[in-house]
Every structure is written in C-alpha cells, then in structure tokens.
Structure 1
Amino acid sequence: MKKAWSAPMLQTEVFEANEYIAACYTGVCDISGEVFLDSNGNGVYDRGIDSRKYYNEACGQQYSITGQDSVMPAKNAFVVDWFGNATPVWNFDDYHVTTTLTQNERPNHS
C-alpha cells in the first residue's frame, strides 16, 4: 500500500472577545463657586488667563460618562472661592462641576 503525500498545514485560531468592559464614570455636582475653565490646559489656575464661565451651585445632580472607549477625563476647570483659592474640578455641560469622579466597570454594557 502506497501512502499519498500531502503538504503540511497549520491551523490557527484567533481569540476574539465576545464582550467588553465599558467604563462608567459618575460624579455629583458637589461644589459651589466661580467656575473658570482651564483655558490653556496646563492643570494650573492662571489668574487673568483662565476664562470665567459661570457661578456654580452645588445642586447634587448626578451625571455620568459611559461608553466602550470612555477614559477618565482630565480635570478641565477650577472653582475659585472668595479668597482666590482654586479647586481643580471636572466641568460637565458648562452647568455642573464635581471634585470627584467614581469609576464603575460595566461588563457587556453598551
């Protein structure tokens, strides 16, 4: 009995995830004061350079950032008190600010 020759073959499998982890960042409007946008994006309050946007009241409204590709945003504004002390904050929709964002992972969430 004669055996037939066959060319060697390599089979590979590629792992493809059928789910993902979507990041969800939540914050609460938790600080009152004059809101100045970080106009030059340097992360430091620059008096006379950073532009005043509005006065914020700590209203307690909750908001979130979600999505498969969402990443923790940088703080993009400052709340300045009567004494000129600047607190770095996240500004949302030019209407709310928060000092703290909490990250929650949400598997299979779109």
Structure 2
Amino acid sequence: MSFTVMAVGDLVVDEPDPASFFAPARETLGRGDVVIGHIEVPHSTSTAQVSTDVPAPPADPAALSAVAEAGFHVVTLAGNHVYDVGDQGVADTIKYATEAGLTTTGAGLTLDEAR
C-alpha cells in the first residue's frame, strides 16, 4: 500500500482570483492523499493590527476556499504573521479554514488548540 503526502511552503492568497494561482498545479495536488500548505497571513475581516514588526494585512477569508478547492487538506498556521491581527485574526483564520474543509494546525487560542 502506498500513501502520498505532498507539502508546500507559504500560500499567500490575498490577491484577486486566488483560484487562478493554483490552476497549473491542481492536477498534481489532486494526486496527493494528504496535501499540506502553510497559510502565511491571517484571513479575517478584522482591522486590528498588533504586530510590532512589519504586519501582514489580513486576507479575505473567502480565499481559503480556493486553497481547499486546489486539493489541500491541511494548512499549517505557525508562522511569523499568524498573530498580526491578534486573537481575532487567529480565531477567524481557523474558523474560515475549517468552514472551507481544511484541517488546521500550529495556531490556536490555547496551546492545546494549536496542537
């Protein structure tokens, strides 16, 4: 029995028509049994900024659907921008990713949630 795991790095889907960026790779991603990507910026409608560094503005939560439709199953959130919009940004990103059908890991409002 074989099992194919695919993983990529940063997914920045805060541009118009995010699905179009995945079109060239959709067929390849579709062959993975578990496809993992890293969501680089929070996906939230919040306007809060709590970063003490160069903050990443939040992306449109609807863009996470393009990630799921491209064939991703799991998204990691443990990056340097995950908290740029504070607790609300983390909560929103997890909520919208889950609603899109993605499993999240690496961030949460508690350590247990992040695990």
TM-score (norm 1): 0.31
Which of 1 and 2 has higher RCO (CA within 8 Å, sep 6+)? 1
Higher helix proportion: 2
Higher strand proportion: 1
Please say which structure displays the higher CA radius of gyration. 1
